[in-house]
Structure 1
């Protein structure tokens, strides 16, 4: 049952990630080449995992399968570290050192902040 929960959550997260990559506009002008879809998805995924983690910390009686579905499956399928790493490499290879630095640093800082915000929204201050 646990594998099914992870698989279903992962499928849902992956489909939502793909949908957002289609509807979030690509950058143009001064921000041409900035990978907005992956950036937005990863920050949203950090917020979700903070909220879900907070939920399970507050409500210890929730099903372990629900945690596998939401945290391992959905968040794992929704966020994408491999795409993030590949986009950073592409920015470096194309000589966009400044954009690489902004993308990598902003992703890290906002990702951690979003995760903390999720815990805070659940009433937890760890």
Structure 2
């Protein structure tokens, strides 16, 4: 049952990542990768909420697998984040590259922390 739940989450997460990334990026006329930044923050928020809920109450294993390694893992994209950061640096947008690296990590950790705190306050 575990692999089925991961598969279902991935079937939703991967296309959602691509479509959201394209939709967000098409609305910004900048080299900064706002689409990837947005989907990564959404995945951090989802994992934070899941982690906080799982520590505050009982979350069925099937739901944890559906949302964690299924949906959120395929929604986020470390490889694209890395590629886009390197591309920014190589094309001369070094400040955007540095901002993408630093802000993505700090915002991702902060978003996950807020998700955990929110879920614990709601379910604890």
The TM-score normalised by the length of structure 1 is: 0.89
State whether structure 2 residue 80 is matched by structure 1 residue 83. Answer: yes
Count of residue correspondences: 120
Q: Equivalent residue for 1:40? A: 38
Please give the secondary structure, in 2, of the residue aligned with 1:24.
helix
Following TM superposition, where does structure 1 have runs of at least 4 consecutive aligned residues deviating by more than 3 angstroms?
Answer: none
Q: Is the 8 A contact 2:21 2:38 kept in 1?
A: no
Q: Equivalent residue for 2:3? A: 3
Q: Equivalent residue for 1:70? A: 67
Gaps of 5+ in 1: none
Find the aligned partners of 1:86 and 1:25 in 2 and give their Cα distance. 16
Cα distance per residue 1:28-62 (max 9 Å; x no partner): 2xxx21001000110111111100111111112x3
Structure number with higher helix proportion: 2
State whether structure 2 residue 100 is matched by structure 1 residue 103. Answer: yes
- Deviation, 1:25, is 3.6
The TM-score normalised by the length of structure 2 is: 0.91
RMSD: 1.2
